[in-house]
Structure 1
Amino acid sequence: MSNRDHSIRLEPSVLEDRRRFYDWLVHPELVPFLLGPPLFPDADIPTWEEFSADYLDYFFTGSNPELGRCYRILMDEVCIGQINYASGLPSHLVAELDIWMSSPEFCGHGYGVEAIQILSGILLNDLGKEELVIRPSARNPRAVRAYEKAGFRRIEIDREAAAVSYGNGDYYDDVVLVLRKNP
């Protein structure tokens, strides 16, 4: 499966997507790559209530785009994942991205890379962001490589400085990658 054979685009999510996105995040085939033991004992699998508290209505309604938004990742009009940004960071000019696919079958083909590039363009060119950050675990080297392919670059920053600049991360071994409007 090559991206040249498929059309990838983003579509704003709606409230009805919240449960579907949660189900994908906690799907037994994807969890080993993202959350929980044995590889991620420091990143608990969220309950529905915890997920809903993190992903408030505005992520799905677009009512507060300065704070964040979720998008469906569509491949040939089929929803294959979700990507989002949050801007509740110390600076309103910085947004943090997060992405997960609906199934392992959509991983490793470049669809996520393309979705990240599309959302990065929206944030940097249309929404006035100056810097984007994404923080996977070092235990997820495929994700790190994908973000680098999307144009993000690793920065050397200690955990405390990263927390001041970007808020707390999800993992004890966050790899901080950034994409700046003006490098």
Structure 2
Amino acid sequence: MIKLRKATLGDRKKAYQWLYYSDFSDFLNKLQGHTSGNIPSYKDFKKDYMDYFFDGSQLEDGCCFIITCKKEGITEDLGIISYTSFHLLDKITEFDIWLKGLSYTGHGYGTKAILVLAGMVRGFGYDKVIMRPSKHNKVAIKSYKKVGFMEKELMPCEYYKTDFIDEFAQGDYGPGEDVFMVLDL
């Protein structure tokens, strides 16, 4: 059974490791244009995933959760999922997710974690979730569609606060390299 637990500041370093140094990282790094010589530093990661993601001090802006699974009485951490809202219009949030290794993909863990977090953020008053996977990450796109995300054309002014359009409208992968997906809650 998949559960989410609020991440702590003590979880931030392993979240960084899972994202940039797992056996799944080569694929993710390549999508973002990173090579072994230019992987973001932990200091850079902390700028993107500030303390409030891990200490719960600004829930209105975002929060990280550790995806866990209990099997045979043992609870294992599988990955991380977060929501972020500081840059989006009212009642809209953005999810980000990564699992700690390649062997954790393809089992429905991410799909189930998205469903759990979607239920949580609906309870917080959000009515729309966006995700922006790389167009080359076909497995992620398929998973998000299973949950109910729909591909849409991005109209930045319909999702982003004016002050953040220039910074976030192009996505993480560059112009035309992502798929804009929306889930109505």
Q: TM-score range by the shorter chain?
A: 0.7 to 0.9
What is the aligned partner in structure 1 of residue 16 from structure 2?
22
Is 1:180 the equivalent of 2:172? no
Is 1:47 the equivalent of 2:41? yes
What is the aligned partner in structure 2 of residue 105 from structure 1?
103
What is the aligned partner in structure 2 of residue 140 from structure 1?
137
What is the aligned partner in structure 2 of residue 83 from structure 1?
81
Residue type of the alignment partner of 1:31: S
Separation (CA, whole Å) in 2 of partners of 1:165 and 1:148: 20
Q: 1:56 to 1:135 in 2, by over 3 A?
A: same
Q: 1:28 to 1:82 in 2, by over 3 A?
A: closer
Residue among 157, 163, 171 paired with 2:173: 171
How many residue pairs match? The answer is 169
List alignment gaps of at least 5 residues for structure 1.
Answer: 1-6
Shift of 1:47: 1.3
What is the aligned partner in structure 2 of residue 118 from structure 1?
116
Shift of 1:42: 7.2
Residue type of the alignment partner of 1:170: D
Residues 34-58 of structure 1: per-residue CA shift (max 9 Å, x gap): 123xx54279632111100011111
Shift of 1:134: 0.5
Separation (CA, whole Å) in 1 of partners of 2:20 and 2:147: 25
Aligned to 2:65, the other structure's residue is in SS state strand
Query: Does the CA contact (< 8 Å) of 1:42 and 1:171 recur in 2?
Result: no
Q: 1:10 to 1:101 in 2, by over 3 A?
A: same
TM-score computed with the length of structure 2 as normaliser: 0.85
Residue type of the alignment partner of 2:120: I
List alignment gaps of at least 5 residues for structure 2.
Answer: none
Percentage of identical aligned residues: 37
Separation (CA, whole Å) in 1 of partners of 2:107 and 2:5: 20
Aligned to 1:100, the other structure's residue is in SS state strand
Aligned to 1:23, the other structure's residue is in SS state helix
Q: 1:58 to 1:80 in 2, by over 3 A?
A: same
What is the aligned partner in structure 2 of residue 3 from structure 1?
none
Residue type of the alignment partner of 2:126: K
Runs of 4+ in 1 over 6 A off after TM superposition: none
Aligned to 2:54, the other structure's residue is in SS state helix
| Cα RMSD after superposing both structures | 1.8
